[in-house]
Structure 1
């Protein structure tokens, strides 16, 4: 396999325009969603664009802490063999936070014979996109991510502290507050400048439903893969921009018990073969195909929950009256449900998936969501009536599986799902489940401070 001529030309043109850049990060994203990679010199990057780069297979399934997962049977048994990595076209961009000589590009994994690697999240997503393409549909995707800004230094108790506003520690919510945006204007200006430099389609900003919490909008694209590339690059940019202002940004699902969690809201519509929105309708509930897609989302929510809520902390986010959903419900112009059809013109009709946490891998989250939509559309499923009013008080739908209430049940359900294996790949589902079970063992192998507070004396 050799890189497309256009990709090589892209790299040559980039360095012709930026001859001083000589510290370039090659970034890949494994199944846990953590950007990892190498820092290369300019001549090395040109070589990667021409002939790829070899990296060990173990990095594709390293756990959230970066440790090997021997239980996969793919580490010592394979000699930790190499895979072949290739640059993702269109992702070679400057990294302003790294100084005038810094840049980055994304990479994807392939087998040595050139086949797409089945453990690479980008390739998992591509497989689902191909299924939709085969039935004449092109997904249009936008990724919305919530995050907290924190003080760079933790408190005396060792815990993170919400970023101060004009030197004052705040705990009030002030949702959609303009003063809160003004207080973080230097950070936001840096963030927007970085997004423009990297071609990330960053739009409006709001102060969210907690002190120090923000959400910025990434413009939707009729290219689900590129929308996820944008989200991955955006998360890195947010963290780097915060660091430049002696702050820390976190996409952790539930950093504070008494404050709102961080969600990753996924907005999706479908273009038909004529390029028109297949979900468009004068009916606020959308065209019949949109209802079928929502039915698929309901049907596969439990099976795919280990993707949408991948970590132990993820499950702290799901509480009633928190703007995080607690059941597989859908509705129109209703933020108390899992799947919302937003208000808007008939041509803009789409669905917002609200169950996913900001800690999820965007490639895998979108892959699982699109798989569910394909399942509903091809099976012509019925979502049942839309929820009106308070979705947190809606009676349980006997036709829908409840959302898993904890990390263990979610991973068990995912591991056993024939449909997840069909859509995401059998080996991927098996390896992802092994990695998460190993994380569970490691996580619960630690003794937290609360154990001593609750059990040291009584026991």
Structure 2
């Protein structure tokens, strides 16, 4: 088969590149003259959009920080062009904010550097209308460059772009698809702690109704709006599923031959779901474990690898050996990279036996209790399902670590441990290495990890560790209501 078409994102005038025919985005540096469009493709995208929407009133500039949180600014509609030319100014320290949006001085990105501005430029294919906005509004996803025009390597999107280019140069062309779980909450119904309750909760016995169609039908107007918004923003939604708890659903995205665009899809899908839910008087949350008694929200990543001819390198008998080596690479690096997959204090509450969230670095075929599942498929579609990440993780970092782990395993010809038979929560079985169930334990492994530096590059690896340390200290500094009611 031919390799699926990829998106070549030429953010600035290219001076060095990976061949477009080889797949992946072009790696570029150096800014064009002020007023020039980044590329002919960017100019064509911009002009086609404004011709279709001449009455544009506003634009929302979106940037993703290391926690996977969208930050940015609102601007008048006529400022859109700047994002496709020299770029929109943002402080580079935006990539050194913790989950609360506070500066973390240890990152070295803030006042000690003069809090410099960088140029944030439009990413190809992300310009779209915001259907739920009150005014005629566009949105565009940006990525950060230094004042000298170099990719800023504390920007997680730039890091994944670089990782994909590295993989392509070695002859590996990753294909990826994400699945995202989330809850729909009713803000009019709150528990004693003030938390909105899931739809369908508290109405007699809990209505789990996994794979039920009634819950989809009852929220058909919302899901229709989500699909329409996804169509308007070129997001390839596949299936929508009722999940394993009241008010919990899953949206599956279709595979892309460009993992960078696949990660973009996650960022924009989360925004779509939350925006559309708000329009229907509901709250949507991708929090990894919003309720102790119910299932957590996961982000599952299906990944395969193609060669330069578009063939799945995991197909056939020899392909299976490469697949097992990729699995081994992911297992070997899983504990030390866990803090990339589970990036919040709350996320570690999801790692509970029997919860369909993995607790050990193990694999199996057609088994949803493990960290790495080989789904039932034809040989041409043979792939790994990575089941560890919380739904609130940064998809660029998740994808970068998966690509790095798989390639290292393949290049080393690594062998995985035997697959798990039955439940991966069976305490009597030899399940191999247990994953950390505490954020600080996970950070301690990450601090010693050389793999994270290889996956993210030295700058973002340092920044990310500094952010996680600051967040842990903040949680250690908080006295919980339970402690007060217990010991006062």
Q: Which residue pairs with 2:374 in the alignment?
A: 341
* 1:50 partner SS: coil
2:435 & 2:374 partners in 1: Cα distance? 20
Q: Which residue pairs with 1:440 in the alignment?
A: 472
> Is the contact between residue 199 and residue 246 of structure 2 (CA under 8 Å) also seen in structure 1?
no
Which stretch shows the higher mean deviation, 311-320 or 446-455?
446-455
> Is the contact between residue 314 and residue 322 of structure 2 (CA under 8 Å) also seen in structure 1?
yes
1:15 to 38, 41, 50: 50
Q: State the Cα deviation string for residues 392-412 of structure 1 (Å, max 9, x = none).
A: 2273455xx431121001112
Query: Taking structure 1 as reference, are residues 156 and 140 closer, same or farther at Cα in structure 2, changes over 3 Å only?
Result: closer
1:404 pairs with 2:436:
yes
Q: Which residue pairs with 1:260 in the alignment?
A: 295
> Is the contact between residue 77 and residue 137 of structure 2 (CA under 8 Å) also seen in structure 1?
no
Post-superposition offset of 1:345: 1.2
Q: Which runs of 5+ in 2 are unaligned?
A: 1-30, 33-37
1:34 pairs with 2:69:
yes
Post-superposition offset of 1:160: 2.2
> Is the contact between residue 184 and residue 283 of structure 2 (CA under 8 Å) also seen in structure 1?
yes
Q: Which residue pairs with 2:396 in the alignment?
A: 363
* 1:357 partner SS: coil
> Is the contact between residue 12 and residue 46 of structure 1 (CA under 8 Å) also seen in structure 2?
no
> Is the contact between residue 301 and residue 328 of structure 1 (CA under 8 Å) also seen in structure 2?
yes
Q: Which residue pairs with 1:127 in the alignment?
A: 162
1:310 to 343, 360, 363: 343
> Is the contact between residue 127 and residue 424 of structure 1 (CA under 8 Å) also seen in structure 2?
no
Q: Which residue pairs with 2:142 in the alignment?
A: 107
Q: State the Cα deviation string for residues 273-299 of structure 1 (Å, max 9, x = none).
A: 11011112379xx61111110000001
Q: State the Cα deviation string for residues 252-307 of structure 1 (Å, max 9, x = none).
A: 00000010000000000011111011112379xx6111111000000110111111
Q: State the Cα deviation string for residues 126-175 of structure 1 (Å, max 9, x = none).
A: 22212221221100000100000001245262432334359958722111
> Is the contact between residue 299 and residue 387 of structure 2 (CA under 8 Å) also seen in structure 1?
yes
Query: Taking structure 1 as reference, are residues 389 and 167 closer, same or farther at Cα in structure 2, changes over 3 Å only?
Result: closer
> Is the contact between residue 282 and residue 346 of structure 1 (CA under 8 Å) also seen in structure 2?
no
* 1:109 partner SS: strand
**TM-score for both structures, normalised by structure 2:** 0.89
Q: Which residue pairs with 2:482 in the alignment?
A: 450
1:185 to 220, 224, 232: 220
> Is the contact between residue 153 and residue 160 of structure 1 (CA under 8 Å) also seen in structure 2?
no
Post-superposition offset of 1:74: 2.3
> Is the contact between residue 63 and residue 435 of structure 1 (CA under 8 Å) also seen in structure 2?
yes
2:429 to 388, 392, 395: 395
Q: Which residue pairs with 2:320 in the alignment?
A: 287
Q: Which residue pairs with 2:133 in the alignment?
A: 98
Which stretch shows the higher mean deviation, 184-193 or 214-223?
184-193
Query: Taking structure 1 as reference, are residues 268 and 217 closer, same or farther at Cα in structure 2, changes over 3 Å only?
Result: same
> Is the contact between residue 331 and residue 341 of structure 1 (CA under 8 Å) also seen in structure 2?
yes
Q: CA RMSD in A?
A: 1.7
Q: Which residue pairs with 2:267 in the alignment?
A: 232
2:122 to 87, 90, 98: 87
Q: State the Cα deviation string for residues 391-438 of structure 1 (Å, max 9, x = none).
A: 22273455xx43112100111211221121122111211111111111
Query: Taking structure 1 as reference, are residues 365 and 166 closer, same or farther at Cα in structure 2, changes over 3 Å only?
Result: closer
Q: Which residue pairs with 1:73 in the alignment?
A: 108
1:198 pairs with 2:233:
yes
Q: Which residue pairs with 1:51 in the alignment?
A: 86
Which stretch shows the higher mean deviation, 185-194 or 139-148?
185-194
2:354 & 2:91 partners in 1: Cα distance? 45
Equivalenced residue count is 452
Q: Which residue pairs with 1:419 in the alignment?
A: 451
> Is the contact between residue 166 and residue 183 of structure 1 (CA under 8 Å) also seen in structure 2?
no
2:453 & 2:276 partners in 1: Cα distance? 38
**TM-score for both structures, normalised by structure 1:** 0.95
Query: Taking structure 1 as reference, are residues 169 and 67 closer, same or farther at Cα in structure 2, changes over 3 Å only?
Result: farther
* 1:162 partner SS: strand
> Is the contact between residue 189 and residue 197 of structure 2 (CA under 8 Å) also seen in structure 1?
no
1:218 & 1:349 partners in 2: Cα distance? 17
2:252 & 2:204 partners in 1: Cα distance? 26
Query: Taking structure 1 as reference, are residues 169 and 85 closer, same or farther at Cα in structure 2, changes over 3 Å only?
Result: farther
2:298 & 2:152 partners in 1: Cα distance? 29
1:156 & 1:136 partners in 2: Cα distance? 53
Q: Which residue pairs with 2:417 in the alignment?
A: 384
2:81 & 2:219 partners in 1: Cα distance? 38
